[in-house]
Structures are given as structure tokens and as C-alpha cells.
Amino acid sequence: MVSTRPRVGVLAVQGDVREHAQVLAGLGADVELVRRPIELAAIDGLVLPGGESSVIDKLSRAFGLQQPVRDAIAAGMPVYGTCAGLILLADRLIDGIAGQETFGGLDVTVRRNAFGSQVDSFEADLRIPVLGDPPVHAAFIRAPVVEAVGPEVEVLARVGDGRIVAVEQGRLLATSFHPEVTGETRFHERFLEKVRVHA
């Protein structure tokens, strides 16, 4: 009999890996910490955590994960990226460091550190219609913003000044903010639904 527990991974080379793993396990998923291609091959969905996007990029290449992750995205694996994970999913990056690369797959242009440095971190309540009520309490920590979206991308949320902070494109989901640190689980639930459908 096939297990109904989704098998999901968290890219575990740097960033807030533990927080995502705890949320996903709490929602009934079997969680794998992904540091090698063989671990990536054993899962049905992947979370790209917040952290330092340029470091995650360099380490994913060093661990031989960059191309396997790109291939998994191209093959339709559901992926959820938060903060740095949004940057890593973007097809186009503004204000990256020299030589910085992304996995791509999400037809968006993202600006790194768009809200400023660590001291400019803030929290806000966002109304996100696809998630219903109550509003999402979002934590922005050196967060990126989506500057432009392609025709297949759905904008899920904006901050008060209109800048885009959550998007979805097919099996890809991404937020500028960190639901995993504020007790918000609805984005992870939405991601797991994609995994169940895909698996």
C-alpha cells in the first residue's frame, strides 16, 4: 500500500533548515534533509529555506546538487522557497553578488535584500485571498522582492506599497518572508497539497 505521508526534503546546506523540517513533520510529512543528489532522488517535493542565497548557491554547487535540483524542477517536482529560497527559484536576479547563480524555474525577476539590511527587518500582516482568513503574519528578514512576473505566475501577496512578496507558478511556490518562524503553516500546507497531487 502506498503511504499517504508525503516525502519531502529540505535543502540542508545552509539556512533555517530545522524550522522548516519541524513545520513539515508537524503537518504529517516524512522529511529528508537533502545534502546529496541521492537524497534528492528519494523525495517528492523540496523546500529551499531562508538563509544566505549566495552561500546556498555556492554550497549546492560544491555538493553536486545544483544540476540535480534544476533537473528536478524542470521535471515538475513541487518546490517551496522562502526568502533566499525565492531568490534561488528565480529565473532572473538583481543585486546578486558577482558570479551568483540560481536554480531557476520560476519566471520572475527578484531583487536581493530589497528591504535593506538585517536592522531593516520587520513584520506585517498580509491579506492573502487564496489562504482565506485570518491574515498571514509575515516576518521579513533581509528579504527580497519580486520586481516582475511572467504570464504564468500568479501574485499571491503584496506589501502595503504594492511590492510583490508571494508568488505561485504551477508546482512552484515562493515567499519573501518566513512563515516557518511565525507559526504560520498554510503555505507549507499548500506546498504539501502540490506534493500529494504530483506524487
Q: What is the CATH number of the domain that holds 42?
A: 3.40.50.880
Residue tagged active-site, from 32, 83, 168, 184: 83
**What b/e sequence results for 160-186 when a residue is b if at least 16 CB atoms lie within 10 Å of its CB, and e otherwise?**
eeebbbbbbbebbbbbbbbbbbeebee
Residue tagged active-site, from 20, 180, 184, 188: 180
| 2, part of any domain | no
For residues 10 and 24, the answer to whether their CB atoms sit within 8 Å is: yes
**What is the number of domains present in the chain?**
1
Could you say which residues of the chain have pLDDT below 70? 1-3, 119
Neighbouring-strand partners of residue 139: 123
| 32, part of any domain | yes
| 83, part of any domain | yes
| 27, part of any domain | yes
d(CA 107, CA 152): 8
| 173, part of any domain | yes
The single-letter DSSP state of residue 65 is -
Pairing of strands 164-169, 172-175: antiparallel
| 174, part of any domain | yes
pLDDT of residue 1: 35
For residue 144 the three cell numbers come to 527580497
Specify the 3-state DSSP secondary structure of 173: strand
Neighbouring-strand partners of residue 76: none
Q: Which domain holds residue 155?
A: 7-198
Q: Is 180 a catalytic residue?
A: yes
| 1, part of any domain | no
Segment 58-102, tens digit of pLDDT: 999 999 999 999 999 999 999 999 999 999 999 999 999 999 999
Neighbouring-strand partners of residue 166: 157, 175
pLDDT of residue 169: 98
pLDDT of residue 120: 72
Residue tagged active-site, from 32, 178, 184, 188: 178
Q: Is 52 a catalytic residue?
A: no
